[in-house]
Amino acid sequence: MTQYTVAIKDIVREENLNCGNKARALSIMTSEDIRLPDGICITPDAYKEFITQTGLKGRILMELGRKDLKDMRWEELWDASLRIRNMFVRTPLYPSLREDIISGLPKPLQRKPVVIRSSSTAEDTQGTSFAGLHDSFVNVTGIDRILHHIKLVWGSLWSDAALSYSKELSLDINNSAMSVLIQNMIVGTKSGIAFGEDPNDPKKAVIEAVYGLNKGLVDGDIEPDRWVVSGETGRIVSQHQSAHARYTTVTTEGTILKKKNLAGTRSPLLNKNEISEIFSTLTTIQNIFGSKQDIEWTFRRGLLYILQARPITVRSSRDNNKRRVWDLSLRRSIDNLNNLSEKIEKVYLPAMTKAANKLSGRDLNKKSDEELAQEIAERKKAFDYWRAIYWNEFIPFAHGFRLFGQVYNDRLSPEDPYEFVDILATSHLLSLERNRALESFAKDIFKSSQGLPRSDSDPVLNDRLEKFIEKFTGVSCDITKCQDEKETLLNIARQLLHKSPSKKNRPGRREKKKKLFLNSFSKKDRAYAENLLDIGRKSYRLRDDDNIYLGRFEGLLTEAIEESRKRLGRRCKDTYTCSNPEEVIRALHFRTYKPKAVKESTHKDSHIKVQARQLRGQPASRGIAEGTARVLSTAEDLGLVQNGEIVVCDAIDPNMTFVIPLVSAIVERRGGMLIHGAIIAREYGIPCVTGIPDATDLIKTGDYLTVDGYYGLVIVHDQKEAQEKRSAVHRLSTKKENIS
Is residue 599 a contact point for another protein (CB under 8 A)? no
Show Cβ contacts of residue 481 under 8 Å, excluding neighbours closer than 6 positions: 559, 562
Which of 518, 713, 722, 729 is in the footprint of another protein by CB under 8 A?
713
| Contact region with another protein (CB under 8 A), list: 61-69, 88-96, 266-274, 589-597 | 61-69
Which of 494, 510, 616, 717 is in the footprint of another protein by CB under 8 A?
616
Full DSSP string of 181-193: EEEE----SEEEE
Sign of dihedral through CA atoms 718, 721, 727, 729? negative
Closest C-alpha to 593, from 371, 367, 369: 369
Q: In whole angstroms, what is the distance from residue 310 CA to residue 459 CA?
A: 74
Closest C-alpha to 312, from 138, 176, 193: 193
Quote the least distance from Cβ 89 to another protein, whole Å: 22
Dihedral, 263, 264, 265, 266 alpha carbons, nearest 10: 100
Other Cβ atoms closer than 10 A to 703: 22
Which of 35, 603, 730, 735 is in the footprint of another protein by CB under 8 A?
603
Quote the least distance from Cβ 472 to another protein, whole Å: 29
| Contact region with another protein (CB under 8 A), list: 58-66, 134-142, 525-533, 549-557 | 58-66
Is residue 721 a contact point for another protein (CB under 8 A)? no
Quote the least distance from Cβ 172 to another protein, whole Å: 9
Quote the least distance from Cβ 539 to another protein, whole Å: 25
Choice between 174 and 450, CB closer to another protein:
174
Kind and range of the H or E run holding 581? helix 581-589
Do residues 323 and 334 touch, judged by C-beta distance below 8 A? no
Binding mask 157-196 toward another protein (x if CB under 8 A, else -) reads ----------------xx----------------------
CA-based angle 568:573:579, to the nearest 5? 75
Which of 332, 669, 676, 682 is in the footprint of another protein by CB under 8 A?
669
Q: Which residues pair with 708 in a beta bridge?
A: 624, 713
Which of 266, 301, 523, 609 is in the footprint of another protein by CB under 8 A?
609
Is residue 262 a contact point for another protein (CB under 8 A)? no
Q: In whole angstroms, what is the distance from residue 136 CA to residue 490 CA?
A: 55
Choice between 208 and 708, CB closer to another protein:
708
Q: Which residues pair with 236 in a beta bridge?
A: 229
Question: Terminal CA-to-CA distance of the chain, rounded, Å?
Answer: 73
Quote the least distance from Cβ 64 to another protein, whole Å: 6
Is residue 65 a contact point for another protein (CB under 8 A)? yes
Q: In whole angstroms, what is the distance from residue 131 CA to residue 123 CA?
A: 7
Choice between 591 and 609, CB closer to another protein:
609
Is residue 58 a contact point for another protein (CB under 8 A)? yes
Is residue 607 a contact point for another protein (CB under 8 A)? yes
Is residue 369 a contact point for another protein (CB under 8 A)? no
Quote the least distance from Cβ 120 to another protein, whole Å: 20
CA-based angle 317:319:320, to the nearest 5? 105
Which of 325, 612, 722, 729 is in the footprint of another protein by CB under 8 A?
612
Is residue 614 a contact point for another protein (CB under 8 A)? yes
Do residues 291 and 126 touch, judged by C-beta distance below 8 A? yes
Dihedral, 315, 316, 320, 324 alpha carbons, nearest 10: 100
Closest C-alpha to 400, from 279, 275, 211, 540: 540
Quote the least distance from Cβ 72 to another protein, whole Å: 11
Is residue 243 a contact point for another protein (CB under 8 A)? no
Which of 38, 711, 722, 729 is in the footprint of another protein by CB under 8 A?
711
Q: Which residues bind another protein (CB under 8 A)?
A: 57-58, 61-62, 64-67, 71, 173-174, 603, 605-607, 609-616, 669-670, 693-694, 698, 711, 713
